[in-house]
Structure 1
Amino acid sequence: MKSFVVLALIAAACAAPQQNPQDVQIVRYDVNNGGIDSYNFAWELSDGTKHEEQGQLKNQGTENEAIAVQGQYAWVGPDGVLYTVTYVADENGFQPQIQQGPGGAVPSAVVASLLG
């Protein structure tokens, strides 16, 4: 009897409506390669996922030459909340700032994967 209940729960979970990844469309895609010293890109999908980033070479030709990047990415979680990570990546490392839309907390696994 227990195995029947477990199988029934698995069947119900599989029958729940899910968005097919094949149904997601690219709604925006911009790339600008500014040559050797800068770039930027932005893309957005029909499911609300998006990513924007700009990078610029700092201290070109010196011993301290490095690329400084800033950007953000966002997605709609299974709870319907828009989550956004804004970041800077430079000589001080990757520095994310996690934001969320109203009504939800950022899942702890997301926080751990960004800061860990």
Structure 2
Amino acid sequence: MFKIILVVCLVGSAIAAGPGPEVEVLRFGSQVDNDGTYGYEYELSNGVTAQESGIGGQYANGGFRHYSPEGELIELAYSADSNGFHPVGSHLPTPPPIPEHILRAIQYIETHPTAEEQKDRQIRQQYGQ
């Protein structure tokens, strides 16, 4: 039942949106090798481009670009590996700088280890870690 409702909602929203501008595929290429390496790239007439390459299930590198409704060019490059997804783009939010008092507190904590941390350091030094 849920699937039927979902399909009806999707079809309804597509009909409500109406036909969009015609978009043509200007360039398309893809390749998949037996060793798991793959790659694809495409370019559309509305300025959208994308590409990706990698080894399935291990890592990927790629990127895409498109124009926002305001006409701004949005470009994103990314890599994905065992450490996660790593996007890079000027449109992505950046964290604020760390306040000075927090930096001082971190430095104090690093230079004044607890007794347990000192023991751990000694053990690591003893065993060459």
Work out which of the two has the higher radius of gyration on C-alpha atoms and give 1 or 2: 2
Q: In 1, distance between residues paired with 2:34 and 2:92?
A: 38
Structure 1 Cα separation of the partners of residues 85 and 41 of structure 2: 19
TM-score (norm: length of structure 2): 0.52
CA RMSD between the two structures: 2.1
Structure 1: where are the runs of 5+ without partners?
Answer: 1-19, 58-65, 100-105, 112-116
What is the alpha-carbon distance in structure 2 between the residues aligned to residue 21 and residue 82 of structure 1? 20
* Higher normalized contact order (CA 8 Å, seq sep 6+, divided by chain length): 1
Question: Counterpart of 1:23 in 2: which secondary structure?
Answer: coil
The structure whose residues are more often helix, as a share, is 2
Gaps of 5+ in 2: 1-18, 95-129
Q: TM (normalized to structure 1)?
A: 0.58
- Give 1 or 2: higher strand fraction: 1
Count residues with an aligned counterpart: 76
| Partners of 2:83 and 2:89 in 1: CA distance | 18
Deviates more, 1:32-41 or 1:82-91: 32-41
Q: What is aligned with 1:98?
A: 89
2:85 paired with 1:86: no
**In structure 2, what residue type is equivalent to 1:80?**
G
